Homo-oligomer: A and B are copies of this chain.
Amino acid sequence: MFQSFDSTANPAQGPARVKKLRALLAENGLHGFLVPRSDEHQGEYVAPRSERLQWMTGFTGSAGAALVLREAAHLFVDGRYTLQAKQQADAGTFTIEDLMGNPPAKWLTENAAKGWRIGIDPWLHTVAEARALRQALETAGGELVALETNPVDAIWDDQPGPPTGAVAIQPLAYTGEEAGAKLARLATAVKDTGADATVLTDPASLAWAFNIRGADIPHTPVPLGFAVLHAKDRHALYIDGRKLDTEVLAHLEPLARLCPPDTLEADLRQLAETHAATVAIDPALAAEKLRLLVEEAGGTVTEMPDPARIPRATKNAAELEGSRAAHRRDGAALAKFLCWLDAQKPASVDEIGAARQLEDARRAVGEATQMPLREISFDTISGAGPNGAVIHYRVTHNTNRKLGAGELYLVDSGGQYQDGTTDITRTVAVGEPSAEMRRHYTLVLKGLIGVSQLRYPEGTRGADIDVVARAALWQAGLDYAHGTGHGVGAFLSVHEGPQRIAKTGTAKLLPGMIVSNEPGFYKEGAYGIRLENLIVVTPAEDIPGGEIAMHGFETLTLVPFDRRLIDTALLTEAERSWLDSYHARVLTEIGSMVDGETLAWLERATASLAE
């Protein structure tokens, strides 16, 4: 759980590995090679064999890229990782660059010399990324070279093999729709765009479409693999046979031809060559390699968004029922944890200890309810005092801090259960909070309530409503430097697209989409406040006296807000009333799942604000 980066990093090896890579580049007439932090599926988490960036540079962050040139090497990371990258990567070898302000494509436009040949592994870059890199190099008079084999793999002697986590069937009770029906819908979508086939490259789409789950990468229960979905022909699923037991085989065989992953290239080539097929791929998700395979074999590539994205994002009744149950369980675990935390003396608990206690509480409730915690849905953010102000804080043994008196403690965590994925943030007072802390907490809470109780017409996009979570902070001259909410999957990825509440949220909010609602405020060097509930878009309903049926949100998360941090004078009557109803609902829904001290704590925590 606590991947302490100082223990796994090995900056000492960086220079030697870079030297080996350079030798290989020279042999191949290349002036450089780009090492991204991604695998063939472009997800947030990757298997150990795909941690090439870390192996090459020592840098363990979750985003970045290294550009290794003949004479220099550049490590591109975003603002939250600048310090970490400097600590982890060999300073004599790597210059740190700004991934956001000056990403590799921009850097190459401005710095590449005429004639430069820069290599990439086209399996590790999307069509859109490769296009940007190609244009950048062409502008500079250079050339992007898509390599047949990855030179990092060639020099990485003890590179782990592909993961072989067991695949499990996700039962109909939780998926609410047979895989056959889903695949038929996807085939229709492919047909409607005029393509012969599409390649599903996102493991979450694969998992959703085939009603399976996997164990190949951390935190996200997906199996790595690809599927080629045909408009008319039989589908093909490319997945390592070692992951499939008899039962899973029996489930999958009626749905698709099961093929070893290493036959995908040949099959695609044949499809393109023999049938002159038109293959649809999502340029934002699919590897550049797929485009090259099809086009080089004489096929046509058309672009379409992954057809599983919207059906997967709009949860059906069974998925929502599962999510509600998972959130009751998660709420009981949080209550147990928060009750325990309240009983500890200030400075007696540290960030790692608190996060362990929370994970234990999730496990305990999971076991008691026969629905065990499969995994935490991401590395817990457990930040006391000033650490709470670091938005993507990940505690390490070096930064681990006691929860001291008069401080705020921010904990952002989630669980993966077979019936749903959770993600919740609460901020609590340790000892006596200051008036300023209470004011800031209440302003953040007003934003959360604003979104929670909003009604909005069909067609409203996440971008349209982002301001609702910020207005109270803005009035006070405050803001937060992140979006208000991200999509969440159904026992899938805790970060799911396309739904989101943010200035960049151009997807319409459709019934069944689960998004987070997590405004915050961060006072650098002092404390962080973030409050996060998961909410689901409800179907448009008539409002008495209204003319337009309106969507709204149902709140899934069931955990009290810290009353010690609420300045009720700053809340409107409508806000107080929302909070009282929410707390009453929390008690009703999870009261029966806890007992003893926790129940007593929960009753106090959920009492009306007027009491």
Contact = CB atoms under 8 A, between A and B. Distances in A.
A548 B470 CA distance: 13
Interface of A: 436, 439, 453-457, 463-468, 471, 474-479, 503, 523, 542-550, 572
Given A464-B467, A464-B503, A467-B468, A548 B478 contact: yes
Contact of A545 (B457, B463, B476, B548): B476
A65 B474 CA distance: 44
B475 A455 contact: yes
Given A463-B463, A468-B471, A477 B550 contact: yes
Nearest to A541: B477
A455 B467 contact: no
A466 B477 CA distance: 20
Contacts of A550: 474, 477
Given A436-B545, A454-B475, A477-B545, 16 more contacts: A439-B545, A455-B474, A455-B477, A456-B467, A457-B479, A463-B464, A464-B467, A465-B467, A468-B471, A476-B543, A476-B545, A477-B546, A477-B547, A477-B548, A479-B548, A523-B547
A471 B453 CA distance: 10
Contacts of A471: 454, 468
A361 B547 CA distance: 38
A474 B457 contact: yes
B549 A477 contact: yes
A316 B498 CA distance: 42
Contacts of A544: 477
13 contacts: A439-B545, A454-B471, A455-B474, A455-B477, A456-B467, A465-B467, A467-B467, A468-B471, A476-B545, A477-B544, A477-B549, A477-B550, A479-B548
A523 B354 CA distance: 56
A464 B547 CA distance: 25
Contacts of A456: 467, 474
A576 to B, nearest CB: 12
A477 B503 CA distance: 24
A540 B399 CA distance: 37
Contacts of A474: 454-457, 550
Contacts of A479: 457, 547-548
Given A454-B471, A471-B454, A572-B572, A547 B465 contact: no
Kindly list the 4 A-B residue pairs having the minimum CB-CB distance in the complex, ordered from nearest. Answer: A477-B546, A477-B543, A455-B474, A455-B475
A537 B424 CA distance: 37
B572 A476 contact: no
Most chain B CB within 10 A, of A477, A478, A542, A549, is at A477
A586 to B, nearest CB: 23
Residue among A454, A456, A467, A548 with max Cβ neighbours from chain B (10 Å)? A467
